[in-house]
């Protein structure tokens, strides 16, 4: 897999509030002012056609309507009006959580809309000899358009001719321009971006209204967010629990009548609302929206919520070596002189021979000679009388002829031939050094000189594909998460093994072809594992489509972006590790708040049931461990707490539970202890405090 050099490689903090286009929304991940601005949307969501999508909150809505009717029948019943008011607030607060999450998405969408302009396209005729100017909205798939300096690219497509510098800041938020060219893995361009230099011909690959920006706007607004399988399963569970508690409350009234403690309909509705899992029912949608939102904050566009969830369950991670695990360009690591030559002499010749080599490898030789051996970096201009030999793919050498000396540096085979052509001999030491470097997974470059003493090899430069800082630690984290990492590379097995050992990956696939990648993914999936991988080329498209989480680079081809279910706007392959962490955070947040919600219901049981029947059955008073002031105060306190806890948990639902790389067992024990036990204790404290406050109000205590 060929990976383009990323325009940037930021390491976002979990609390980052960055948005596409470089803007920010609100005051970071959660701004209390968003509650106020989203309140009108929350009220509009009271439409029963909207509420029915959440069975739990639909029941609360029906309960609110019933208590409203009963309260109107007896306007003097302060208890009925108080319960009614707080039930309506419970419903609105549930909608508020979703409205806040959607509101942040709309703010991001507004930023993206600013980048979407009605551009004019210069469409080429079929024979390519003439142009016509048409609105960008009239372009169709297959049309070819020309863009020059200053033009806005009218639609998504691939560069089929030319090379240009393009400003993609409207999409990625990165001000540095990127290069887009035909025939490679950096051919894809996005409508709404701007050509800064040169001329390119683009083949349109999307219909108007279905461009990349259009899809981004729909997704971040939540318009295209479908419920994931886990969400659907949890909704079914919550609906089942609601039905169970509904039946329990319905059958409770006959027993109450028999015992001589008939309960009012308002009390029964309050009991039902407090027992059903309203907390997680209210926050479930917001958790899902916020999960996709956190990806957008890191400039990753998820095509579906299913992909985000799948990222949380990934057990095998396929990572390209070049640009992901390593820096992508081989760097000079050391100079190894042959016997009879000093390191300083070799370093001086290596630097001199590399001045005409503009490749990253050549530049690294100059830097190493300067930093390690204290040689001043020279420039071609200082040696005006020298004859420079530039590096080419054909000669595979660079060098200089100056002051009667000829200095060459390049691939071992090329330099050996040059030395022999100059009448010199190549000793065994040079070959042994080159073989040793190759066996270690490096690339040897020979340095030779021809002067009055004849032609000879001075030594070998060791080029290494440098592993990025911190990669071993990140792979250790993934291992603690139970994720197996596999490095994919086109290198030979010897080089691949050396890099894999240094980086700390679990396994590697050397000399990988598209068929090899597909076979590896299918083999992992056959064992019941979910697989994630990154890619940017057309040859990666089959594997991206096969993977459970396929992250395509924005710099890549249209085929790769269509095949994947996520697109990284920064084109930073290491982002895949962050995506997995965000997916796990989404699943953990949902599980933690579900645990908290169910534990809450157990605690609220101890507040309401004793209050309902303690008068008839004095023995039940032992369950009144909170010693609440009165039956009315106990029931009202539970209803108020049930409403306020939703608002209190909105920031956690949006931000997500903090994720720590650890085993599933430890994570389960931690969440049960924190959110299970916390869910039991919080209602006792909260309801008691509310009861103490209510007891100060005349007529209630």
Q: Is 409 annotated among the ligand-binding residues?
A: yes
Q: Which residues pair with 319 in a beta bridge?
A: 487
Q: Is 76 annotated among the ligand-binding residues?
A: no
Q: What is the pLDDT of residue 17?
A: 35
Q: Is 540 annotated among the ligand-binding residues?
A: yes
Q: What is the pLDDT of residues 368-389, one digit of tens each?
A: 888 887 766 565 555 667 888 8
Q: What is the pLDDT of residue 173?
A: 55
Which among 366, 18, 350, 280 is positioned nearest to 172, based on CA atoms? 18
Q: What is the pLDDT of residue 497?
A: 85
Q: What is the pLDDT of residues 224-276, one digit of tens each?
A: 455 667 778 888 888 888 898 889 888 887 877 777 777 789 988 988 998 89
Out of 158, 320, 548, 601, pick the active-site residue.
Answer: 320
Range(s) within the chain of domains with CATH label 3.40.50.1000? 300-325+468-569
DSSP-assigned letter for residue 206: S
CATH of 330-466, picked from 3.40.605.10, 3.30.470.10, 3.50.50.60, 3.40.1110.10, is 3.40.1110.10
Q: Is 31 annotated among the ligand-binding residues?
A: no
Q: Is 395 annotated among the ligand-binding residues?
A: yes
Q: What is the pLDDT of residue 16?
A: 36
Return the CATH fold of 121-154+156-205.
Answer: 2.70.150
Q: What is the pLDDT of residue 86?
A: 94
What's the pTM? 0.65
**SS3 of 36-55:** HHHHHHHHHCCCHHHHCCCH
Q: Is 501 annotated among the ligand-binding residues?
A: no
Q: Is 361 annotated among the ligand-binding residues?
A: yes
Determine phi and psi for 271, rounding to 5 degrees.
-60, -45
Evaluate the CA torsion angle 216, 222, 227, 228 in order and state its sign.
Answer: positive
Range(s) within the chain of domains with CATH label 3.40.1110.10? 330-466
Sites in the chain below the pLDDT cut of 70: 1-32, 34-35, 104-118, 170-176, 184-185, 209-228, 305, 323, 328-329, 375-384, 393, 441, 611-621, 623-624, 663-664, 699-701
CB atoms within 10 A of CB 631: 18
Q: Is 397 annotated among the ligand-binding residues?
A: yes
320 catalytic residue (yes or no): yes
Range(s) within the chain of domains with CATH label 2.70.150.10? 121-154+156-205
Q: What is the pLDDT of residue 116?
A: 57
**Which residues neighbour 227 within 8 Å (Cβ) at sequence distance 6 or greater?**
235, 288, 305
Q: Is 118 annotated among the ligand-binding residues?
A: no
Evaluate the CA torsion angle 379, 380, 385, 388 in order and state its sign.
Answer: positive
Q: Does domain 300-325+468-569 have CATH number 3.40.50.1000?
A: yes
Q: Which helix H or strand E contains 519, and what residues bound it? A: helix 514-526
Which among 578, 554, 560 is positioned nearest to 7, based on CA atoms? 554
């Amino acid at each position: 897999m060929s990976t383009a050099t990323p325009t940037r490689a930021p390491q976002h903090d979990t609390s980052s509030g960055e948005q596409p286009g470089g803007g920010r929304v609100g005051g970071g991940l959660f701004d209390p002012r968003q509650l106020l601005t989203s309140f009108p949307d929350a009220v509009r969501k009271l439409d029963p056609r909207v509420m029915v999508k959440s069975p739990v909150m639909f029941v609360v809505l029906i309960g609110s309507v019933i208590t409203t009717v009963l309260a109107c029948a007896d306007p003097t019943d302060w208890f009925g009006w108080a319960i009614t008011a707080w039930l309506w607030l419970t419903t609105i607060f549930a909608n508020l959580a979703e409205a806040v999450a959607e509101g942040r998405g709309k703010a991001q969408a507004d930023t993206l809309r600013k980048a979407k302009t009605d551009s004019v396209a210069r469409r080429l005729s079929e024979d390519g000899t003439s142009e016509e100017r048409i609105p960008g909205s009239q372009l169709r798939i297959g049309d070819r358009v020309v863009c020059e300096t200053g033009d806005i690219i009218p639609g998504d497509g691939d560069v089929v001719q030319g090379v240009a510098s393009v400003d993609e800041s409207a999409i990625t938020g990165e001000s540095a321009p990127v290069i887009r060219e035909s025939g490679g893995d950096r051919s894809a361009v996005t409508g709404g971006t701007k050509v800064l230099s040169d001329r390119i011909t683009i083949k349109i690959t999307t219909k108007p209204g279905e461009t990349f920006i259009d899809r981004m706007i729909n997704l971040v607004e939540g318009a295209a967010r479908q419920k994931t399988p886990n969400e659907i399963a949890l909704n079914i569970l919550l609906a089942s629990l609601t039905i169970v508690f509904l039946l329990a409350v319905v059958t409770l009234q006959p027993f109450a009548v028999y015992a001589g403690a008939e309960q009012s309909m308002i009390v029964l509705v309050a009991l039902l609302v407090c027992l059903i899992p309203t907390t997680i029912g209210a926050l479930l949608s917001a958790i899902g929206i916020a999960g996709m939102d956190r990806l957008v904050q890191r400039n990753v566009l998820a095509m579906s919520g299913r992909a985000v969830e799948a990222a949380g369950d990934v057990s095998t991670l396929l990572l390209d070596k070049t640009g992901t695990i390593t820096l992508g360009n081989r760097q000079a690591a050391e100079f190894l002189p042959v016997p009879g030559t000093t390191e300083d002499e070799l370093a001086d010749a290596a630097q001199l021979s590399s001045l005409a080599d503009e490749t990253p490898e050549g530049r690294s030789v100059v830097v190493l000679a300067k930093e390690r051996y204290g040689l001043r970096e020279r420039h071609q201009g200082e040696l005006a009388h020298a004859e420079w030999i530039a590096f080419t793919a054909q000669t595979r050498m660079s060098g200089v002829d100056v002051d009667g000396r000829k200095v060459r540096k390049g691939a071992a085979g090329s330099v050996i031939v040059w030395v022999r052509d100059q009448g010199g001999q190549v000793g065994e030491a040079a070959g042994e050094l080159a073989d040793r470097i190759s066996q270690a997974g490096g690339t040897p470059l020979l340095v030779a000189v021809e002067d009055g003493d004849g032609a000879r090899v001075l030594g070998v430069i060791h080029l290494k594909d440098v592993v990025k800082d911190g990669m071993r630690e990140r792979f250790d984290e993934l291992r603690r998460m139970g994720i197996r990492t596999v490095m994919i590379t086109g290198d030979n097995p010897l080089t691949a093994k050396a890099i894999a050992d240094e980086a700390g990956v679990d396994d590697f696939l050397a000399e990988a072809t598209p068929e090899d990648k597909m076979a590896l993914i299918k083999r992992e999936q056959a064992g019941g594992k979910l697989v994630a991988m990154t890619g940017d080329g057309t040859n990666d498209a089959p594997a991206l489509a096969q993977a459970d989480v396929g992250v395509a680079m924005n710099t890549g081809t249209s085929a790769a972006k269509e095949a994947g279910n996520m697109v990284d706007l920064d084109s930073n392959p290491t982002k895949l590790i962050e995506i997995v962490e965000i997916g796990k955070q989404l699943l953990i947040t949902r599980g933690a708040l579900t645990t908290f919600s169910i534990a809450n219901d157990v605690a609220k049981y101890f507040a309401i049931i004793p209050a309902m029947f303690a008068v008839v059955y004095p023995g039940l008073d032992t369950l009144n461990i909170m010693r609440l002031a009165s039956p009315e105060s106990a029931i009202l306190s539970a209803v108020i707490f049930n409403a306020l806890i939703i608002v209190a948990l909105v920031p956690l639902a949006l931000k997500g539970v903090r994720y720590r790389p650890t085993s599933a067992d430890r994570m389960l024990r931690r969440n049960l202890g924190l959110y299970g036990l916390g869910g039991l204790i919080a209602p006792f404290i909260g309801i008691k405090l509310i009861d103490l406050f209510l007891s100060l109000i005349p007529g209630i205590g």
